[in-house]
Amino acid sequence: MDETLFSETWARLRGEIGRVVVGQDELVEGLLVGLVARGHVLVEGAPGLGKTLVARALAAASGCSFKRIQFTPDLMPSDVTGSSIYDRDKGAFVFVPGPIFGQLLLADEINRAPAKTQSALLEAMQERQVTVDGTSRPLPLPFVVIATQNPVESQGTYPLPEAQLDRFLLKLTVADPPRDVEATIVRNHALGFDPTDLSAVQPATAPETLLAMQQWAQNVRVDDAIVGYAVDLVRRTREDRAIELGASPRASIALMKAAQVLAAASGRAFVTPDDVKPMAKAVLRHRLMLHPDAQLQGVSPDERIDEIIRAVPVPRAA
């Protein structure tokens, strides 16, 4: 693997996903960053904006095994991880894996399940393993969770625990498409496009290649000045008066990992500030707790992050 092969594979992945996904470039790029950075991604948006379609297209283009869990209020942890069932023929309990044993897991509408069920993902997201009945079982690699959620204001939803939110490398938001994009989507459906049929998407890579891409991105050079820039951005969230709880050092690590992937996708073996800044919102927005006064004034995490980016000096090239 080298920078040329990395960027070419990245472009092929985007091209294959683009065969069925229209107008979601930021979402597609963010999911690819999460996949290659060995991170999990939380996607927030109203129903009907194509979140599930993008995740399924990513699995098809990457060659990864795909599993989906539809989170509901009555979903149990064992429905996620699997459980041991007594086999009469064998005279022993046999473990039946749950849907979490897939390389790309779509946790659809994750905030419709209570915290007890959401917590079943924590070990898998952090350790890449699942422990059931005292036995730990490794998950297939690469392993990435793509969780979708409706806005917290939606009826029948539960806010995710802070510990789980912090396990997500990125949080991506999906807005309504522009009029011309929406018209294209409607036209495609009028011409017979079936969102359940992804036969048009061909595998652009394989899990083994993705693992090599992950290793290559991890070795992209990061100068001390860039590390300091990323750290300063994150530390400023702890000093902002509008933010009650800022991001932890885990956010600094996440920001650096995402920037390394973005640099590699651009065909470079080194990180620049222009790789760090585009990922700041996705890395930080779910890790901030705004002060109540700021919330009453309608301030959003993205607005504060924009202000922080403007305030932190950008390192100059050596």
- Asked whether the beta carbons of 82 and 125 are under 8 A apart, the reply is no
In angstroms, the CA 99 to CA 70 distance is 10
Tell me if 113 sits within 8 A of 157, measured CB to CB: no
pLDDT tens string 112-167: 887 778 777 888 888 899 988 888 999 999 999 999 987 766 666 777 777 788 88
- The whole-angstrom separation of Cα 212 and Cα 27 is 23
**Of residues 230 and 317, which shows the higher confidence score?**
230
What separation in angstroms does the CA of 183 have from each of 47, 81, 122, 177, 190? Answer: 18, 41, 40, 9, 10
Query: Would you say 292 and 298 are in contact if contact means Cβ atoms under 8 Å apart?
Result: no
pLDDT value at 317 more than 70: no
Question: Among candidates 38, 51, 54, which has minimal Cα distance to 125?
Answer: 38
Per residue in 51-93, pLDDT tens?
Answer: 889 999 999 999 999 999 998 888 888 889 998 888 888 888 8
Inter-residue contact 195 to 20 (CB < 8 Å)? yes
What the block records as the tokens of 16 is 């294959």
- C-beta of residue 42 within 8 angstroms of C-beta of residue 168: yes
Output the pLDDT for position 193.
86
106 closest CA partner among 64, 46, 138, 49: 64
For residue 119, the model assigns a pLDDT of 75
Q: For 81, list phi and psi in degrees, rounded to 5.
A: -85, -25
Residue 179 has pLDDT above 90, yes or no: yes
Nearest CA among 20, 18, 13 for reference residue 194 = 20
Q: What is the pLDDT of residue 307?
A: 95
Q: Where does 24-178 sit in CATH, by number?
A: 3.40.50.300
Residue 127 is which amino acid? E
Give the mean model confidence (pLDDT) for residues 165-194: 90
**How do beta strands 243-245 and 289-290 pair?**
antiparallel
Instruction: Assign 311 a pLDDT band (cuts: 50, 70, 90).
Output: very high
Please tell me the predicted confidence (pLDDT) of residue 318. 53
Q: State phi, psi for 79 to the nearest 5 degrees.
A: -65, -20
Q: 77 near 99, Cβ under 8 Å?
A: no
Higher pLDDT, 114 or 299: 299
pLDDT at 211 over 90: yes
The region of weakest confidence among 6-15, 185-194, 262-271, 299-308 is 185-194
Alpha-carbon gap, residue 42 to 146, rounded angstroms: 6
* b/e code 258-267 from CB counts within 10 Å (16+ = b): bbbbbbbbee
Radius of gyration of the chain from its Cα atoms, rounded to whole angstroms: 20
CA 239 to mean position of chain CA atoms: 27
Look at the alpha carbons of 69, 72, 77, 78 in this order and tell me if their dihedral is positive or negative: negative
Q: Compute the mean pLDDT over every residue in the chain, rounded to the nearest whole number.
A: 90
pLDDT in tens, 247-284: 999 999 999 999 999 999 999 999 999 999 999 999 99
Q: Quick one: pLDDT at residue 156?
A: 67
- Segment 169-184 mean pLDDT: 92
Give the model confidence (pLDDT) of 1-53 as tens digits.
788 899 999 999 999 998 888 888 899 999 999 999 999 999 998 888 888 89
Beta pairing, strands 104-108 & 66-70:
parallel
* pLDDT band per the 50, 70, 90 thresholds, residue 107: very high
pLDDT of residue 36: 96
Distance in Å from the first CA to the final CA of the chain: 27
Task: Report the SS3 class of residue 306.
Answer: helix
pLDDT at 161: 77
Model pLDDT, residue 153:
61
- Do 129 and 136 meet the contact criterion of CB atoms below 8 Å apart? yes
What's the confidence (pLDDT) of residue 155?
64
Confidence of residue 287 (pLDDT cuts 50, 70, 90): very high
Domain boundaries, the chain: 24-178
Is the distance from CB of 112 to CB of 69 less than 8 angstroms?
Answer: no
